Amino acid sequence: MATDLETGLLRAFATAARAGSISRAAAALGHTQPSLSQRLQKLERAVGQRLLHRTASGVVLTRAGEALLPYAERILALSAQARTVTGQVLAGRCGVGLIEDLTAAPLPQALADFAHANPGSTLELVSVPGPAMRRAFDTGRIQLALVDPTYLPEPPRWTVRLPLAWSAAPGVDLTRDPLPLVLFSPPCRWRAPVLDVLRAHGRAWRVAFESTSLAGVQAAVRAGLGAAALLATNVAPGTVAPGLPALPEVELGLVRGAATDGDPLVDAVEELLRRLTAVPG
């Protein structure tokens, strides 16, 4: 007989996948590291496959984990929505601004599920460069923005730190000097810290490809042009690049328009974003 997957186990898995580290996920969930490891092992036994590949710098998704993560995120999002909307009808409009790096993660699907579960509400997702994001916020097109906090004038209500990880096609020689890099074009604020890490470890580098687009960077990685620093959730299976210097975390903040205080729909969407990024309440 098939066994239902426990929500708690899926939450442990999704949080570890987003954090890129079992220790960071344990801290976010209020568990000990051994306890969280046991939960992950229990889920792997239930599905019969390894879901996370353990490395010296953290964890990355296996192919099975990559396949399961969107379903885990959807189950957790629907569970959160059920708790939020029980006995409450949500209606109105909410614009949500996301940096492009988050649009490749399961988060947009969770927001789409939220919209389907609340037919009286309208959600608009916006992913544009920093100046355009600020205009969208100032004009009221978006009420919530999960972005680099420096993009917008309002101070963030909360912040989350997400791990970066190296990604490269299997054929790329990561010992090459200088190291070929696939970079996001300026004014990407993650670029300088990545280069600083390489300098601190005495690694020479050269720019093999750069783009303002996440899709462009990922395509260049798949083509074998070089190594790229991506959010851990955007590293495709088979492109984990071991042996390079550990990368810093990057900070995102949730900014909310002051005029939306007390709006039940915006409250619910913010809570959903908080849960999906594993920010303690």
Residue 83 counted as domain residue: no
Residue 79 has pLDDT above 80, yes or no: no
Higher pLDDT, 263 or 278: 263
Q: Are residues 243 and 179 in the same domain?
A: yes
Residue 77 has pLDDT above 80, yes or no: no
Residue 206 counted as domain residue: yes
Residue 103 counted as domain residue: yes
Q: Are residues 126 and 15 in the same domain?
A: no
User: Can you tell me the mean pLDDT for 97-106?
Assistant: 86
Q: Are residues 153 and 28 in the same domain?
A: no
Please report where in the chains the tokens 């993660």 appear, as a residue: 105
Number of domains present in the structure of the chain: 3
Residue 87 has pLDDT above 70, yes or no: no
Query: CA geometry: angle at 124 spanning 250 and 140, to 5°?
Result: 85
Q: Are residues 194 and 236 in the same domain?
A: yes
CATH number of the domain that 57 lies in? 1.10.10.10
Q: Are residues 172 and 242 in the same domain?
A: yes
Q: Are residues 61 and 12 in the same domain?
A: yes
Question: Containing domain of residue 54, as a range?
Answer: 7-78
Q: Are residues 72 and 95 in the same domain?
A: no
Higher pLDDT, 2 or 223: 223
User: Tens of pLDDT along 138-179?
Assistant: 899 999 999 988 877 778 999 988 889 999 999 999 999 999
Q: Are residues 239 and 118 in the same domain?
A: no
The proportion of the chain whose per-residue pLDDT surpasses 70, expressed as a percent, equals 93
The Cα–Cα gap between 99 and 133 comes to 9
Residue 110 counted as domain residue: yes
How many beta carbons lie within 10 A of that of residue 261, not counting itself? 9
* 12 CB-near residues (< 8 Å, 6+ apart): 25, 29, 31, 36, 39, 40, 43
User: Tens of pLDDT along 23-45?
Assistant: 888 877 777 888 888 989 999 99
* 202 CB-near residues (< 8 Å, 6+ apart): none
Q: Are residues 61 and 172 in the same domain?
A: no
Residue 30 counted as domain residue: yes
Residue 137 has pLDDT above 70, yes or no: yes
Strands 249-256 and 158-167: antiparallel
Q: Are residues 177 and 236 in the same domain?
A: yes
Q: Are residues 170 and 66 in the same domain?
A: no
Query: CA geometry: angle at 55 spanning 193 and 25, to 5°?
Result: 75
Q: What is the mean pLDDT of the chain?
A: 86
The type of residue at 176 is R
Instruction: Fill in the DSSP letter of residue 240.
Output: B
User: Tens of pLDDT along 184-211?
Assistant: 998 888 899 999 999 999 999 999 999 9
**pLDDT on residue 1:** 42
Residue 279 has pLDDT above 70, yes or no: no
Residue 89 has pLDDT above 70, yes or no: no
Q: Are residues 201 and 140 in the same domain?
A: no
